[in-house]
Structure 1
Amino acid sequence: MTDGTRRDDGHTAVKETSFITAVIRAMENDRPDAYLADPHAALLSTPRSRALAQEALAAGGTVGSVIVRGRFGDIALGEAMAEGITQVVCLAAGGDTRAWRLPLPADTRFFEIDLPGQLEAKDALLAPVEDRITCRRVTLGDDLRGSTWPRRLGDAGYDRARPSVWIVEGLLPYLEFEHFARLLMRIEEMSSPGSVLLADAPHAAYFRDPANAPFLAFMQARGSAFRLGLEDFGGLLNRCGWQAEAYTLRQLAAGGCPWVPAPPERLCPPRDHHWVARARLA
């Protein structure tokens, strides 16, 4: 796999992973008992992304974290919209299709940021359903580890004085802790009281579980290694100034979150140690 992965810009493997998750969402959408509905994910399911998804799943990758965080985020985003928040920032937006598949209010500004070229590729694949977008979508190509994206987001119309929903899905595993801490700090600096943060991350136990060793080795070999695991995601967010509620997949399966339907056991296997979190800035 290492020889077959392009290294032209240093980001190719991570960029491709976002479309692997779209394949997983398309597979879930086709199930009669689907926990997450994403009818547009199939458009992002290209021959290459399907082949990569098959390799990842054969190496021991799991689908639960992708599907559960999607449903968790959909519900939380809907509640925030109902409260009157009309500004959304989706970081590392990759294959996210919420601007297409959710009936977002027309006055909502939905900002998407990802590595240069990623969102253009998604737009091309989703061109057949571009008329499904009901909000005002704005895209930016930038590296979230850098320092330019906050300024560019403001230049694109983001208003720091208004509450926002920040979506950070599928990004944190690839960050060093220093980059993660800096990202959290910048999000807080750009947020007004009442803003909501939706995020997910591996539990530290994911890296300790022998059952996950083949998949971690696979991701390392293809240039998109998992780096960040957290023992207490909610506690960390609380210490960073947010009021957080965080759940593992197993806790959700046991009905531990009162506002999210319990996902089925098939999506929460014991080895998929993963956090999902919703946090609000006081």
Structure 2
Amino acid sequence: MSDATLPADESTAVKETGFITAVIRAGESERADAYLVDPYATLLGTPRSTALAREALAAGGTVGSVIVRARFGDLALGRAVAGGITQVVCLAAGGDTRAWRLGLPAHTRFYEVDLPGQLEAKESLLAPVRDRLVCRRLTLGADLRDADWPRRLQALGHEPDAPTVWIVEGLLPYLRMEEFTRLISRVRAASGRGSVLLIDAPHSAFYDDPANAEFLAFMRARGSAFRLGLDDFAGFLRPLGWQAEAYTLRQLAAGACGWLPAPPGRLCPPRDHHWVARARLA
């Protein structure tokens, strides 16, 4: 399925959300007690994305899942690269700035995949810091529901038999269950032994909590209704070939993940029912 076949409101909503999360990361970075610092996120704060971020937060959206998953992913990616993995694939890369901000080694190949036009827009906004990019960044415009994106990624130089760090953040709320399952299966098929999957998803309780009703209505009105929630994220990933350590935000705040500094309670409010996970190829 190409971008041209997507309903206009759905395609636009997915694209805009990528930059909304960058606005949220920029806001966190300005805090004296910031849990995550992203010095490049502010460049992605267009008038449209800034206005949408304000609307989302006013409707009851939370910043915790965005900030915590970013810190979790930063540390997990750093560990994997330090362990010798040299290729990274960020799916639905949107406003992700890791290729710039993490100082990855020059020999690292950092692939970004997103809907056509999204990555070009990001490149334009980040043009002032183009010289800060050290790793080798390669981009692919593709709809991740299309079956041929792994083949096109391989044509760019991705080696499916070698270990890869896969980043899938903020995408699952826009997918149906069967689309999510196919996506993770395709990732598995394109992964060599030792690959790592960094992924997040809403907990099913997110949809049942009355405190989230206004935000869910806001998302539905934008054509990007949340569709997917999971009670047991690690258990869901296991039959798809991945052995995962998965945590809710509140578990992380309680110190459940030994390698991640516990996020502050302000980022893990009771209504933000959300999973983050690091999985390895079984």
Taking structure 2 as the reference length, what is the TM-score of the superposition?
0.96
C-alpha distance in 2 between matches for 1:157 and 1:229:
34
- What are the within-5 Å matches in structure 2 for residues 1-282 of structure 1? 8=8, 10-282=10-282
Moved more, 231-240 or 215-224: 231-240
C-alpha distance in 2 between matches for 1:241 and 1:136:
29
Moved more, 65-74 or 14-23: 14-23
C-alpha distance in 2 between matches for 1:9 and 1:211:
26
Aligned amino acid, residue 73 of structure 1: G
Aligned amino acid, residue 177 of structure 1: M
Moved over 2 A (4+): 7-10
C-alpha distance in 2 between matches for 1:9 and 1:248:
30
Q: Secondary structure at the match of 2:228?
A: coil
C-alpha distance in 2 between matches for 1:78 and 1:229:
28
C-alpha distance in 2 between matches for 1:147 and 1:131:
34
Matched length = 276
1:9 Cα deviation (Å)? 6.9
Structure 2 CA distance for partners of 1:214 and 1:10, relative to 1, 3 Å: closer
C-alpha distance in 1 between matches for 2:145 and 2:227:
14
C-alpha distance in 1 between matches for 2:270 and 2:8:
37
Taking structure 1 as the reference length, what is the TM-score of the superposition?
0.96
Moved more, 9-18 or 128-137: 9-18
Q: Secondary structure at the match of 1:137?
A: strand
C-alpha distance in 1 between matches for 2:156 and 2:90:
14
Aligned residues of 2:9 and 2:222 also touching (Cα < 8 A): no
Structure 2 CA distance for partners of 1:51 and 1:9, relative to 1, 3 Å: closer
Residue 3 of structure 1 is matched in structure 2 by none
1:8 Cα deviation (Å)? 4.2
Q: Secondary structure at the match of 2:247?
A: strand
Any stretches of 5+ residues in structure 2 without a counterpart? 1-6
C-alpha distance in 1 between matches for 2:10 and 2:212:
25
Cα deviations by residue, 1:223-251 (Å, 9 ceiling, x for unpaired): 11111001100111122111110000000
Aligned residues of 2:160 and 2:192 also touching (Cα < 8 A): yes
CA RMSD of aligned residues (A): 0.9
C-alpha distance in 1 between matches for 2:235 and 2:226:
21
Cα deviations by residue, 1:235-279 (Å, 9 ceiling, x for unpaired): 111221111100000000000000000000000000000000000
C-alpha distance in 1 between matches for 2:154 and 2:14:
26
1:161 Cα deviation (Å)? 1.5
Cα deviations by residue, 1:73-119 (Å, 9 ceiling, x for unpaired): 00000000010000000000000000010110111000000000000
